[in-house]
Structure 1
């Protein structure tokens, strides 16, 4: 069976380069603050939840793009303000407030996975976070 180029590309397996390229095409540059190891962890999680092809990943992220952007711009509660300020330092924290961004690409992917896979992903992430 002959597939056109787009369909062949859509069926290719996702990898780190594609994940980063897709996120850069859908989300602001300010959110591009993840290390390769952070992206690698998220890639493993996507694969575990059955997101294997470039098309599946693209559709997942486009489905929740507007919601993720809105979540990223929401004001932080006092507890998170303190945590981020301590972690980021004053200058980076104030810049994040001014530009209204909080989450790196891995966090945005994980939020999309929470929305898509619901309780199954929440249980998975709780187990992941408690095993560290």
Structure 2
């Protein structure tokens, strides 16, 4: 059976580079402000844990939840978090985030997709991961 170019791409097993590429195709460049410290190794492991193994699997996951993820990313944050982020980032950077109304970098957007898709199962997984 001959595969089209799209099918060949879709069937590729995810790698760190392909995770990043998938995120950059779906989400705005403004959210690409922080590189994953482990080069998407951790995120790739999480995707595999939840059965996301190919480029197509990732694309479907991200597209299914894209609108909700961007809505969450652009929503206002409470005063407690405003103060915390302003102290962490510095006032200038924080004010830029407030003005442009975006919060999550690509790894955060990916984890939002997993949370929206797998709900309590992912939350339990994340709590164990984060030792909560």
* TM-score, normalised by the number of residues in structure 1: 0.92
Question: Can you give the 5+ residue segments of structure 1 that lack an aligned partner in the other structure?
Answer: none
Q: Which residue of 2 aligns with 1:16?
A: 16
CA contact (8 A) 2:24 2:32 kept: yes
Of 95-104 and 36-45, the range deviating more from structure 2: 36-45
For 2:26 and 2:76, the matched residues in 1 are separated by 21
Correspondence 1:60 to 2:58: no
Shift of 1:87: 1.5
For 2:59 and 2:48, locate their aligned partners in 1 and report how far apart those are by CA, in whole Å.
14
Cα distance in 2 between the residues matched to 1:50 and 1:63: 16
Deviation at residue 54 of structure 1 after TM alignment: 0.2
Distance in 1 (alpha carbons) for counterparts of 2:106 and 2:4? 30
1:46 maps to which residue? 47
Is the helix fraction higher in 1 or 2? 1
> Which runs of 4 or more aligned residues in structure 1 lie more than 4 Å from their structure 2 counterparts after TM superposition?
none
Shift of 1:33: 2.2
In 2, are the aligned partners of 1:18 and 1:54 still within 8 Å (CA)? Answer: yes
**1:37-62 C-alpha deviation (Å, 9 max, x unpaired):** 16221111111111000000001001
Gaps of 5+ in 2: none
CA RMSD in angstroms, aligned pairs only: 1.4
Size of the alignment, in residue pairs?
131
